[in-house]
């Protein structure tokens, strides 16, 4: 009898698999999905999001169309709140969440972030690349040591963004003197401000992000990376100091390690809370297949968009680990990532 029950259970599971697949396909057939983009058009978040949106639909059962929708503001908080609180919770919404927001939630740094990122369904990470704090080539600051000696204006987006957190951390832990100019709608706007020399540098962007959106910047030495943050140096930037390699008191090492792990969040793709498990599984599979697609790979190469994927399960665990890090580490990090009053200023209208 036990064997009979086991056999019946296996038969039911086998029979139900096509039914689940059919249900997902029936749901998505003819649907118009949205890919919510946290920035204005033109930056690397926008480039990666649109690239995925152009190719992922054919791997989702039912082959829905995916329309990009730009929703900038608050360093990505506007988009995250929309996805978590307002958007349909049915699997028709995708977004690329700001890299700095898991840290922002972990440390409770911005009350305007009104969602729990652990409740998002994480689909996958398109790229894991080091964050760079850079200055424009005309800046008198050429190294981190220079940045400890002179005030250097650094452009950033909004509170909660990595572009604010990174220079604040450098000021608070390493002793630099960055003046953080906030209020730019997106990274593309900060790049333009650098080119116009309204600011001397940009709070942070990934190496791959620059290669995708501004492929001339690094090869032509238009920007000077002062420091890179990640688990190991970018192969193309062997001479740029890695945060983990910098001298620091033993008591500060956990903070350097926390920030370096946070960078592995990269460019994370999610759907809303509350999506049925079969649709989440279908979206994760579609994402993984998209990143292996020959047309996607060819277009990514043409755009200079490097792909270093992480699957949805691994990404969800990284985000959970950051948000649930030891209380003492989170308390110290909160102080380290908050700009001092005199270190930050909103840009002029």
Statement to judge: residues 203 and 339 lie in one domain: yes
Of 321, 306, 344, 301, give the one whose Cα is nearest residue 172. Answer: 344
The 10s digit of each residue's pLDDT in 205-233 is 989 889 878 989 999 999 999 999 998 99
Statement to judge: residues 338 and 318 lie in one domain: no
Q: How many domains does the chain have?
A: 2
Give the model's pLDDT for residue 110: 85
Statement to judge: residues 231 and 342 lie in one domain: yes
Give the model's pLDDT for residue 231: 84
For 331, the token pair is: 């308390």
Of 98, 130, 99, give the one whose Cα is nearest residue 206. Answer: 130
The answer on pLDDT for 302 being more than 80 is yes
Neighbouring CB atoms inside 10 A of 191's CB total: 24
Statement to judge: residues 192 and 292 lie in one domain: no
% pLDDT > 90, the chain: 73
DSSP secondary structure string for all residues of 326-341: -HHHHHHHHHHHSPPG
The answer on pLDDT for 21 being more than 90 is no
Statement to judge: residues 142 and 38 lie in one domain: no
The 10s digit of each residue's pLDDT in 165-183 is 899 999 999 999 999 999 8
Domain membership of residue 221 as a residue range = 131-263+329-346
Mean pLDDT value across residues 191-200: 96
Find the CATH number of the domain harbouring 202. Answer: 3.40.190.10
The SS3 of residue 300 is helix
Give the model's pLDDT for residue 349: 55
16 belongs to a structural domain = no
Q: Which residue has the tokens 């096509």?
A: 18
For 304, the token pair is: 């200079």
Statement to judge: residues 47 and 122 lie in one domain: yes
The 10s digit of each residue's pLDDT in 270-286 is 999 999 999 999 999 99
The 10s digit of each residue's pLDDT in 34-84 is 999 999 998 889 999 999 999 999 999 999 999 999 999 988 999 999 999
Q: Report residue 31's pLDDT band, with 50, 70 and 90 as the boundaries.
A: very high
Query: What is the reported pTM?
Result: 0.75
Statement to judge: residues 107 and 82 lie in one domain: yes
Statement to judge: residues 142 and 120 lie in one domain: no
Mean pLDDT value across residues 3-25: 57
């Amino acid at each position: 009898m036990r064997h009979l029950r086991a056999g019946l259970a296996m038969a039911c599971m086998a029979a139900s698999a096509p039914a689940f697949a059919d249900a997902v396909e029936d749901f998505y057939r003819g649907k118009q999905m949205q890919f919510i983009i946290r920035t204005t058009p033109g930056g690397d978040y926008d480039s990666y999001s649109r690239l995925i949106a152009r190719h992922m639909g054919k791997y989702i059962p039912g082959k829905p169309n995916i329309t990009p929708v730009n929703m900038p503001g608050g360093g990505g908080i506007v988009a995250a709140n929309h996805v978590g609180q307002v958007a349909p919770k049915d699997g028709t919404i995708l977004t690329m969440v700001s890299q700095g927001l898991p840290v922002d939630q972990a440390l409770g740094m911005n009350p305007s972030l009104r969602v729990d990122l652990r409740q998002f369904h994480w689909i996958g990470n398109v790229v894991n690349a080091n964050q760079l704090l850079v200055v424009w080539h005309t800046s008198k600051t050429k190294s981190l040591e220079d940045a400890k000696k002179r005030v250097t204006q650094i452009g950033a987006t909004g509170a909660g963004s990595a572009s604010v957190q990174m220079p604040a951390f450098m000021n608070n832990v390493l002793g630099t003197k960055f003046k953080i100019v906030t209020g730019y709608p997106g990274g593309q706007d900060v790049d333009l401000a650098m080119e116009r020399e309204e600011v001397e540098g940009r709070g942070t962007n990934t190496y791959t992000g620059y290669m995708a959106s501004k492929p001339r910047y690094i090869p032509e030495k238009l920007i000077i990376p002062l420091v890179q943050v990640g688990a190991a140096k970018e192969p193309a930037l062997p001479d740029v100091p890695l945060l983990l390699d910098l001298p620091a008191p033993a008591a500060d090492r956990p903070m350097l390690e926390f920030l370096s792990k946070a960078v592995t969040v990269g460019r994370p793709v999610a759907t809303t809370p509350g999506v049925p498990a079969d649709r989440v599984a279908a979206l994760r599979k579609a994402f993984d297949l998209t990143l292996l697609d020959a047309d996607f790979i060819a277009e990514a190469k043409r755009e200079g968009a490097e792909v270093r994927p992480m699957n949805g399960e691994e990404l969800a665990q990284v985000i959970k680990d950051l948000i649930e890090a030891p209380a003492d580490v989170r308390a110290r990090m909160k102080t380290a990532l908050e700009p001092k009053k005199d270190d930050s200023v909103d840009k002029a209208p």
